[in-house]
């Protein structure tokens, strides 16, 4: 009987890009090998693996995320613009071939069963509040009030993926680490630590700005 948790998957390495489940990723396909890959994917189940490429070390990450092609448009020059959606995460078991494009044998990754739903709910609420505080404080400092999407996930696992995908700044290393975790609790704990530190820094900057403003008024 075939192992349904293992399959062969075309890989699309991207420099310092980490795709998370349920996240939309637009891509421009122009290299000939990836044009071939796209044609093959569209003839099959419209899925391929997005995996982080580290230009400095010339290596790919051990874990990536499967992307499903939702929309595609190909021009007369053969280049394509596609819109993909992140699906399951996978771990690379073995590279099957390198040409014309890299294909690997992968196994699907899921988070471990929840240990304590009640404790996780409390943690999720803390993460959600820290996220909202960071957004509010950032808006005050920049003078451009921002808001979170109305459909922000409220389930622990989905919220942890959303936050991982929307971390600001050059944080590909942190994102990759979060993607590879198989514990929702650990992912949320790490994200809370990041958000709480950011919240503290923003709050301090807000106090400093207000203090300087009051001093100038005097």
For all residues of the chain together, what is the average pLDDT? 90
Q: How does 146-176 read in b/e, with b if 16+ C-beta sit within 10 Å?
A: eeeeeeebeebbebbbbbbbebeeeebebbb
In this structure, what token pair is assigned to residue 187?
């992912």
- Bridge partners (DSSP) of residue 15 are 53
For the chain, the domains span 6-109, 117-217
When pLDDT is cut at 50, 70 and 90, the band that residue 30 belongs to is very high
At 1 the pLDDT is 43
Residue 57 scores a pLDDT above 80: yes
Taking CA atoms, 94 is separated from 8, 103, 111, 195, 215, in Å, by 9, 9, 22, 36, 63
Q: What's the predicted TM-score (pTM) here?
A: 0.89
When pLDDT is cut at 50, 70 and 90, the band that residue 114 belongs to is confident
pLDDT in tens, 136-185: 998 888 888 878 998 999 899 999 999 999 987 657 789 999 999 999 99
Q: What value does the mean pLDDT take over residues 1-30? A: 89
The answer to whether the CB of 95 falls within 8 A of the CB of 161 is: no
Q: What value does the mean pLDDT take over residues 20-45? A: 95
Residue 218 scores a pLDDT above 70: no
Q: For the structural domain made of 6-109, what CATH number should be given?
A: 2.30.130.40
Residue 27 scores a pLDDT above 90: yes
When pLDDT is cut at 50, 70 and 90, the band that residue 207 belongs to is confident
Residue 104 scores a pLDDT above 70: yes
Estimate the share of the chain in helix, then strand, then coil, as percent rounded to the nearest 5.
40, 30, 30
């Amino acid at each position: 009987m075939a192992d349904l948790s293992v399959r062969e998957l075309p890989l699309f390495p991207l420099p310092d890009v980490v795709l998370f489940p349920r996240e939309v990723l637009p891509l421009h396909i122009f290299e000939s090998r990836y044009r071939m890959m796209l044609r093959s994917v569209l003839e099959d189940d419209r899925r391929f693996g997005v995996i982080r490429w580290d230009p400095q070390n010339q290596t790919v990450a051990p874990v990536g995320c499967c992307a499903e092609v939702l929309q595609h448009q190909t021009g007369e020059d053969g280049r394509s613009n596609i819109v993909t959606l992140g699906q399951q995460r996978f771990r690379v078991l073995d590279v099957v071939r390198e040409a014309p494009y890299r294909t690997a044998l992968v196994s699907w990754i899921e988070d471990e069963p929840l240990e304590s739903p009640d404790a996780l709910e409390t943690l999720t609420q803390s993460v959600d509040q820290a996220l909202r505080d960071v957004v509010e404080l950032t808006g005050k400092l920049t003078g451009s009030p921002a808001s979170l999407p109305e459909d922000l996930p409220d389930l622990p696992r989905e919220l942890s993926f959303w936050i991982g995908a929307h971390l600001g700044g050059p944080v590909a290393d942190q994102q990759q680490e979060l993607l590879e975790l198989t514990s929702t609790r650990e992912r949320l704990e790490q994200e809370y630590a990041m958000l709480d530190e950011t919240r503290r820094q923003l709050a301090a900057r807000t106090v400093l700005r207000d203090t300087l403003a009051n001093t100038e008024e005097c």
